[in-house]
């Protein structure tokens, strides 16, 4: 028996039995080709970026308008059918993994940019627009959309809002919630609400702040108004190699303490350096225990000035290697290694990527403990993360075809996340809870804290049909989710049944 296996809600047999009725109710409100029910085609939707777990959904719908989404939600809530919203399916925490009795609402067809308003520096887009395509659409006019998750080529803005995605440059520009001005959202029963007209703060309670990061549990965002920012005159990274993580960590603290706010400070440990260098040939120092990539922005003179100050601080911390990029090509190469870290690691081994965030003062300690934990399980980890904001990303390497090793990797991951919480941090900085970290929520929050969130969730979705297996531990929901969680299914029981 796999003790760590994550449980899903038990499929409701009465929903499975009504499959044909449910499908025809969807076909009544959508064009036929927008309703997917063929098991072969459904395969494409059985998992997301958290590939260790998969479930076939009951059906997938591909609406093209907010009105279609509303009609779908009206039909499904009437029949109390669970709904799993999906953008590009790049979630790293299983946020978009379906369940057998759920309909996936995929928003990828809603991918139009509706309005570019440069004088007011905003873009109104449909939820299925990819993150990068917004920046691409406005780049020639001198603007960009700031949050830049590693998956930005594929991930959608709707998914970014669901997870409150960050990225390497959020040290200066903030995460999704700091760059969101408005949404159009379909509630569980098909009601359409609009928040914000493009002004800086929407009226009333800060529902935008509540919705951002709610992991598809409060409603389906179909449109968003996002902030555009003028592109900096230039950007330049510098790369530092250190003989220890502590020295690198102290250097980060001193850079920030000196009043310099770089746009990004990225950290890699020895394992990550080796993996990324083998893949990207970026010229990373293989003899370093820790590497920092610090990026500054501004005019040539401003960048030279800031880099001068930063290099001086690094020297005070015995920096071993300094690589300043002399050209755009060199700058791109420095970033290439970092940006391809997850992909490059995937070539070496299977991995699970943790996302705990810790106070800056705890970075070196948590790194050391992380190493000790994975060692205890007989595993290896590569550490790549956003050091400026304490968002750690240990990649725990394992063999997916070895069930015992997968179990160890999950347990090591859970231990690391508990460590992050105990160090004054949190379970997840930008990936979300999903199913992956759901059962650890009680480590960070007590029952009252969780109940308050659950009550707010119920204000949006009283029948608990929106992405119901996620975020909140199945135990402790009581009757708040209609008793659905009382009997869950684990992979072990599912595999036994198959």
Partner 1 sequence: MIPSDGTDQLIEPFDEAELAEIVRDAADNGRPLEIAGGGTRSFGRPVDALATVSTSGISGIVAYSPNEMVAAVRAGTPVSELQAALDDANQRFVFEPIDHRSLLGTEGEPTVGGMVAVNASGPRRFVAGACRDSLLGVRFVNGKGEIVKNGGRVMKNVTGLDLVKPMAGSFGTLGVLTEVTLKVQPKPETEATLIVRGLLDADAVAVLAHAMATPNDVTGAAHLPELVAGKVLDGALGSEQATLMRLEGFESSVNERAEKLKALFGKLGEIDQIDAPQSRRLWAQIRDVAPFADHPDRPVWRLSMRPSDAHEAVMALRMKAGASAFYDWQGGLAWVRMEGGNTMSGLVRKTVEANGGGHATLIRATESERRFAVPFQPQEKPLAILEYRIRKAFDPQGILNPGRMVA
Tell me how far, at minimum, the Cβ of 143 lies from partner 1, in Å. 7
E strand or H helix that includes residue 458:
helix 447-460
Candidate list 58, 76, 310, 433; residue touching partner 1; CB under 8 A: 433
Question: Is 467 a binder of partner 1 (CB under 8 A)?
Answer: no
Query: Positive or negative, the Cα torsion across 98, 103, 105, 109?
Result: positive
Which listed range, 83-91, 99-107, 125-133, 251-259, lies at the site for partner 1 (CB under 8 A)?
251-259
| Closer CB to partner 1, 106 or 160, in the complex | 160
| Closer CB to partner 1, 323 or 437, in the complex | 437
Question: Is 206 a binder of partner 1 (CB under 8 A)?
Answer: yes
Question: Is 143 a binder of partner 1 (CB under 8 A)?
Answer: yes
Candidate list 72, 132, 187, 313; residue touching partner 1; CB under 8 A: 187
| Closer CB to partner 1, 1 or 200, in the complex | 200
Which listed range, 78-86, 129-137, 207-215, 367-375, lies at the site for partner 1 (CB under 8 A)?
207-215
Question: Is 455 a binder of partner 1 (CB under 8 A)?
Answer: yes
Ramachandran angles phi, psi of 495, nearest 5°: -65, -35
| Closer CB to partner 1, 59 or 92, in the complex | 92
Candidate list 149, 159, 390, 413; residue touching partner 1; CB under 8 A: 390
Tell me how far, at minimum, the Cβ of 146 lies from partner 1, in Å. 11
Question: Is 192 a binder of partner 1 (CB under 8 A)?
Answer: yes
Question: Is 166 a binder of partner 1 (CB under 8 A)?
Answer: yes
DSSP structure string for 106-164: E-TT---EEEEETTTTEEEEETTSBHHHHHHHHHTTTEE-----TTTTT-BHHHHHHHT
Q: Rounded to 5 degrees, what angle do the CA atoms 26, 28, 34 make? A: 55
Tell me how far, at minimum, the Cβ of 184 lies from partner 1, in Å. 12
Candidate list 28, 233, 286, 487; residue touching partner 1; CB under 8 A: 233
Question: Is 452 a binder of partner 1 (CB under 8 A)?
Answer: yes
Q: What ranges in 129-211 are assigned the alpha helix state H?
A: 131-139, 157-163, 170-173, 207-211
Gyration radius from the chain CA atoms: 23
Which listed range, 9-17, 202-210, 267-275, 323-331, lies at the site for partner 1 (CB under 8 A)?
202-210
Candidate list 21, 41, 136, 199; residue touching partner 1; CB under 8 A: 199
- CA 471/CA 428 separation, integer angstroms: 11
Which listed range, 41-49, 271-279, 316-324, 421-429, lies at the site for partner 1 (CB under 8 A)?
421-429
The whole-angstrom distance between residue 232's C-alpha and the CA centroid of its chain comes to 26
Tell me how far, at minimum, the Cβ of 114 lies from partner 1, in Å. 15
Quick one: residue 487, left, alpha or beta (phi over 0 = left, psi -120 to 50 = alpha)?
A: beta
Ramachandran angles phi, psi of 155, nearest 5°: -70, 150
Count of beta carbons in the 10 Å neighbourhood of residue 324: 17
| Closer CB to partner 1, 311 or 453, in the complex | 453
Tell me how far, at minimum, the Cβ of 449 lies from partner 1, in Å. 6
Residue 115 in contact with residue 138, Cβ under 8 Å? no
**Within positions 350 to 369, which residues make up the interface with partner 1, using CB under 8 A?**
357-361
| Closer CB to partner 1, 144 or 284, in the complex | 144
Q: What share of the chain is helix, strand, coil (3-state, %, to 5)?
A: 40, 20, 40
Closest CA to 190 of 81, 108, 99, 115: 81
- For 4, the 3-state DSSP assignment is coil
b/e per residue 440-453 (b: at least 16 CB within 10 A):
bbeebbeeeebbee
Candidate list 460, 482, 488, 494; residue touching partner 1; CB under 8 A: 460
- CA 447/CA 108 separation, integer angstroms: 37
Closest CA to 5 of 439, 307, 299: 439
- CA 431/CA 422 separation, integer angstroms: 19
Question: Is 450 a binder of partner 1 (CB under 8 A)?
Answer: yes
| Closer CB to partner 1, 469 or 489, in the complex | 469
Task: Name residues whose C-beta falls within 8 Å of residue 482's C-beta, 6 or more positions apart in sequence.
Answer: 463, 464
Residue 143 in contact with residue 228, Cβ under 8 Å? yes
Candidate list 431, 465, 468, 489; residue touching partner 1; CB under 8 A: 431
Question: Is 197 a binder of partner 1 (CB under 8 A)?
Answer: yes
| Closer CB to partner 1, 91 or 111, in the complex | 91
| Closer CB to partner 1, 190 or 241, in the complex | 190
Candidate list 164, 184, 236, 467; residue touching partner 1; CB under 8 A: 164
- CA 387/CA 248 separation, integer angstroms: 9
Candidate list 389, 410, 436, 481; residue touching partner 1; CB under 8 A: 389
| Closer CB to partner 1, 68 or 389, in the complex | 389
Q: Annotate each residue in 49-88 with x if it binds partner 1 (CB under 8 A) or - if it does not, as one string.
A: ----------------------------------------
Quick one: residue 432, left, alpha or beta (phi over 0 = left, psi -120 to 50 = alpha)?
A: left
Which residues partner with 35 through β-bridges?
Answer: 61
Please count the residues of this chain forming the interface with partner 1, following the rule CB under 8 A. 95
């Amino acid at each position: 028996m796999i003790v760590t296996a994550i449980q899903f809600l038990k499929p409701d047999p009465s929903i499975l039995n009504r499959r044909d009725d449910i499908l025809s109710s969807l076909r009544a409100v959508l064009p036929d080709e927008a309703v997917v029910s063929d098991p072969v085609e459904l395969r494409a939707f059985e998992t997301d970026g958290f590939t260790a777990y998969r479930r076939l959904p009951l059906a997938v719908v591909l609406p093209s308008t907010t009105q279609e989404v509303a009609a779908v939600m009206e039909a499904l809530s009437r029949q109390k059918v669970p709904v799993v919203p999906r953008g590009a399916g790049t979630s790293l925490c299983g946020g978009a993994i379906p369940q057998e009795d759920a309909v996936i609402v995929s928003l990828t067809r809603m991918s139009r940019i509706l309005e570019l308003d440069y004088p007011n520096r905003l873009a109104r887009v449909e939820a299925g627009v990819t993150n990068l395509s917004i920046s691409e659409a406005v780049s020639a006019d001198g603007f960009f959309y700031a949050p830049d998750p590693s998956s930005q080529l594929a991930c959608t803005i709707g998914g970014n809002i669901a997870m409150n995605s960050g990225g390497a440059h959020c040290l200066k520009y903030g995460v999704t919630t700091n760059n969101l001005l408005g949404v159009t959202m379909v509630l569980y029963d098909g009601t359409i609400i609009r928040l914000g007209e493009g002004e800086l703060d929407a009226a009333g309670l800060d529902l935008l702040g509540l919705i951002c990061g709610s992991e598809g549990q409060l409603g389906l965002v179909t449109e968003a108004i996002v902030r555009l920012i003028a592109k900096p005159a230039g950007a330049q990274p510098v790369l530092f190699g250190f003989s220890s993580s502590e020295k690198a960590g102290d250097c980060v603290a001193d850079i920030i303490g000196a009043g310099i706010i770089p746009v990004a400070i990225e950290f890699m440990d020895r394992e990550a350096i080796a993996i990324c260098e083998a893949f990207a040939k970026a010229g990373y120092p293989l003899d370093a225990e820790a590497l920092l990539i610090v990026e500054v922005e501004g005019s040539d003179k401003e960048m030279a000035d800031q880099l001068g100050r930063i290099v001086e601080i690094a020297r005070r911390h015995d920096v071993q290697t300094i690589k300043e990029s002399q050209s755009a090509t060199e700058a791109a190469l420095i970033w290439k290694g970092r940006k391809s870290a997850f992909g490059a690691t995937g070539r070496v081994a299977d991995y699970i990527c943790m996302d705990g965030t810790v106070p800056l003062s705890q970075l070196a300690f948590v790194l050391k403990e992380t190493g000790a934990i994975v060692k205890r399980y007989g595993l290896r980890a590569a550490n790549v993360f956003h050091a400026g904001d304490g968002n750690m990303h240990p990649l725990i390497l394992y063999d997916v075809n070895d069930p015992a090793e997968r179990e160890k990797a999950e347990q090591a991951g859970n231990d690391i996340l508990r460590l992050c919480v105990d160090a004054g941090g949190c379970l997840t900085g930008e990936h979300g809870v999903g199913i992956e970290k759901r059962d650890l929520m009680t480590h960070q929050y007590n029952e009252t804290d969780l109940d308050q969130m659950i009550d707010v969730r119920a204000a949006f979705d009283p029948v608990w049909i929106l992405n119901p297996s996620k975020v909140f531990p199945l135990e402790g929901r009581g009757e708040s989710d209609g008793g659905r969680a009382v009997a869950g299914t684990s992979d072990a029981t599912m595999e036994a049944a198959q």
